[in-house]
Amino acid sequence: MRSSVAGLLLFVFALGRAPAGIAETLSGYAYLTPEMQAMQDDEFGNPGQLTVDRGRALFATAGAGEKACSSCHGDEGSGLDRQRIARYPVYDARHDRPLTLRGQVLQCWAERLGNPPLAYADPVALQLEAFVRSQASGETVAVEIDENLQPFYEAGEKLFHTRWGQVDIACHQCHDYHAGQTFRGQVMTQGQSNGFPAYRFTTGHTVGLQERITECLTSLRAEPYPAGSEEYLNLEVYMSARSNGLKIETPAIRY
């Protein structure tokens, strides 16, 4: 039997409200209080910067092959291509699947630096991803859905509209229909991905997009997929393209 919370949610989403999509694409930043916006904007006060700083240190640390990320990409990431970062996920022809920014970091970690492979959810992978993506802060998200990525985009869109778990709610019902409304003391956003990796104010830690999806699925009493799974890659393609036109805010602060 569903809990009273699940029943309440089902009642709310059965009200038949009008929007079938989003009229205007808004970053999660638009839903923060002025105080939290100021915290995100403060390079010294933003708690997500701790994860970025750890990634910065790893970026400059030589791996088993005696090379560091900075050996190719310059001190402090000065040689990183900001526009390229804003285009991830991209198509990986070698493996015939999407390649996320974290996936690229993991490839470089093992193949270019000669380190033992890391799990997709390893904190080191998160920290490096946070640092690299922060170097493109302010760049416009520009994921290109070409003929190669189109099937993965469509599969991710289907998952975004799939009802999950015992609560029986789809991602789009919260983030398309009810963005801006308050639930359990939190303002629901459009679920845009432009701020990730982001610091979650309610849990006190930094998460990547896939970790955040896992948290959502768990709250819906659904079985999450493994980090780096085909399903999560597809969702990341769709959700990243859905954020096209927004500015990268990593490390953002989110509820």
59 with 129, same domain? Answer: yes
| Domain interval for residue 155 | 4-10+20-42+146-254
Q: Any idea of the CA torsion for 185, 191, 194, 195, to the nearest 10 degrees?
A: 20
Q: What is the pLDDT of residues 3-15, one digit of tens each?
A: 334 443 433 333 3
**CB-CB neighbours of 53 under 10 Å:** 14
150 with 38, same domain? Answer: yes
38 with 150, same domain? Answer: yes
Q: What is the pLDDT of residues 49-75, one digit of tens each?
A: 999 999 999 999 999 999 999 999 999
At residue 186, the pLDDT reads: 76
* 216 is a catalytic site residue: yes
Which of 100, 134, 168 is where one domain is finished? Answer: 134
pTM of the model: 0.90
Nearest to 233 by CA among 213, 217, 253, 252: 213
Catalytic residue among 69, 108, 174, 216: 216
DSSP character at residue 226: P
At residue 10, the pLDDT reads: 38
33 with 159, same domain? Answer: yes
Kindly report the CATH number assigned to the domain that includes residue 209.
1.10.760.10
76 with 192, same domain? Answer: no
37 with 61, same domain? Answer: no
89 with 177, same domain? Answer: no
Three-state SS for 22? coil
For the chain, the first-to-last Cα distance in angstroms comes to 29
Is there a contact between 103 and 211 (Cβ–Cβ < 8 Å)?
A: no
Q: What is the mean pLDDT of each run of 10 residues along the chain (255 residues)?
A: 39 35 87 96 96 98 95 96 98 97 98 97 98 98 98 98 95 92 82 98 96 95 97 98 98 96
77 with 166, same domain? Answer: no
156 with 233, same domain? Answer: yes
